[in-house]
Amino acid sequence: MRRRLPHVYLWGVTPEATAVEAFRHRYEADPEIVCVAPGRVNLIGEHTDYNEGFVFPAAIDRHVVIAARRATGDGSSIFSLERKGIGQFHVNFVAPGQALDRRWWDYLAGMAWALRDETRQKLPDIDAIVHSTVPIGSGVSSSAALEMACGVMWNELAGIGLSPRELAKLGQRCENQFIGINSGIMDQMASAMGRAGHALFIDTRSLDVQYAPLPKGLAIVLCDTKKPRSLTASAYNERRRQCEAGAAAMSLASLRDATLAALEAADLDSVTFRRCRHVVTENARCIEFKAALKMGDREAIGRLMRASHESLRDDYEVSCPELDAMAEAAWGAPGCVGARMTGAGFGGACVALVAKRAVEEFTSATLAAYDRETNLSGEALTCNVADGAHRTR
C-alpha cells in the first residue's frame, strides 16, 4: 500500500527523522533500513585526484538519507523529497547507456549496476524515500553522497560486506561508466570515509587516508555563489584529457610524477603546460597544507588556499567571475584564515577557514562585499565535520 505524500509534510528534527516520517507516511510501515552519507568540502588539492595526486577533503554535516525496505511490488520505486519524479527501475537489469537523460535516480541505478557488476550478486529491489540536506549544484558532492548512501544500503541489505573504500571505488565507477563523467575518487572517499572533526589527506594513487584533526579555533564556512555550475561535464572531461596528454608527452603514466623542471623541458603547448603546472603545484601545496594545518600556521594556510584559487583561476581556468568575487570578498573579511573555490568549479561555492569567534562578522562582511560586486545574493553555511556514510537503523 502506498500513499501520496502531501505537499507539506511533517519535518523531523533531523534529516533522518524527516526521511523516516516521510517513509511511514507513504508506505504505512517502518523502514527496514536507514542509511546516511555526507557531502564534502575540499580544503585544498583540486583537480588532482584523476592525476593520482593528493587531496584534502572533509565530510560535512549535510546529508543524503535513504530510508528503505525490500520492494513489495515489481521493481524499485524511489521517491525524493527534494526532486521531482519517482525513480523506477529494476536493480538487476540496469546497465550503462541508460543514463542518457540525466535523472536524479541515475546515481542509484548506477550504484546498483556497479555493485552487481563487481560482486556478481543479485540485489534486492527497494521501496525508498530519499531526503537530502546537501546543497545541489554548489560543488559539495550531493551526487557522491547519494551514491554512498545507497551503496551502504545495498551492501547491508544484500550482506555483501564491502569496505567503505571499496564502496567509494564503485561510486567512481558509477560516475565514469554509468553517468559518463570521468571524475576522480575524492568525493566518494570523503563521503564514505569521513571522520567527525577531521579532514582527510588522501593519496589518490594508493588510496591511503591520513586523518588530520581540524584546529579547534577554526570553523569551515561554505560561501555559496548561488551561481549554478554550468558546462561542468564537458569542461571537466576536457581538463582530464589535457592532463593525460601532458603526462603522455613527458612519457609519464600520470602527472603525479611530473616536476616543474620536466614540464619546462617538455615540448607542450601553452594550454597543456598551464593545466599541468596547476596539477604539479597543487600537489605540492596540498602536502605543505597538511604540515601547516598540523602546526596551526594560519599565515601558511591562508597563503596556500589563495595560491590554489589563483592557480585554478589562471592556469586551470575552472573558476568564474562569481567564484572569484566570492574568494576576494572572503579574503578581505574579518576572521578569514583562508578561502578558495571548492569542487570542480564553473560555479558553486568557496570554502573558507574562519576564526571561530569571528564567524558572524566574516559571514556578513563576505556576503555584503559579494553582493556589492556581483549584485547577487550568496549564502553562507557553517559546517561541522561529520562521519562518513553509515547505517543508522
Pairing label, strands 76-80, 126-132: parallel
Phi-psi domain of 197 (left: phi exceeds 0; alpha: psi -120 through 50; beta: other): left
**Cell match 527534494: residue?**
82
Q: Is 301 in a helix, a strand, or coil?
A: helix
Q: Cα–Cα distance between 35 and 215 in angstroms, integer?
A: 29
- Check binding of 147 to ligand GLA (CB under 6 A): no
Answer for which of 34, 94, 344, 389 binds ligand GLA (CB under 6 A) is: 344
Residue 343 found at the interface with ligand GLA (CB under 6 A): yes
> What's the closest the beta carbon of residue 345 comes to ligand GLA, in angstroms?
7
Provide, rounded to whole angstroms, the least separation between the CB of residue 110 and ligand GLA: 14
Q: Which of 125, 187, 224, 315 is catalytic?
A: 187
Residue placing its CB nearer to ligand GLA in the complex, 127 or 187: 187
Candidates 184, 302, 338, 388: give the one binding ligand GLA (CB under 6 A).
184
The reply to whether 47 sits near ligand GLA by the rule CB under 6 A is yes
User: Do 260 and 280 contact (CB within 8 A), yes or no?
Assistant: yes
One-letter identity of residue 97: G
Residue 76 has phi, psi (to 5 degrees) of: -90, 150
Active site residue 187: yes
Binding-site size for ligand GLA (CB under 6 A) equals: 10
Q: Does 46 bind ligand GLA (CB under 6 A)?
A: yes
Which of 68, 186, 276, 304 lies at the binding interface for ligand GLA (CB under 6 A)?
A: 186
CB closer to ligand GLA out of 27 and 236: 236
Q: Which has the closest alpha carbon to 56: 308, 362, 322, 325?
A: 308
Q: Any contact of residue 352 with ligand GLA (CB under 6 A)?
A: no
Site string for ligand GLA, 49-68 (x = CB under 6 A): xx------------------
CA distances from 376 to 128, 220, 317, 362, 372 (A): 37, 22, 22, 18, 8
- Only segment of 10-18, 29-37, 67-75, 181-189 that touches ligand GLA (CB under 6 A): 181-189
d(CA 134, CA 260): 38
Shortest Å distance, C-beta 125 to ligand GLA: 28
Residue 334, classed as helix, strand or coil, is: coil
Residue 224: all three cell numbers together: 555559496
Chain residues that interact with ligand GLA, rule: CB under 6 A: 46-47, 49-50, 183-184, 186-187, 343-344
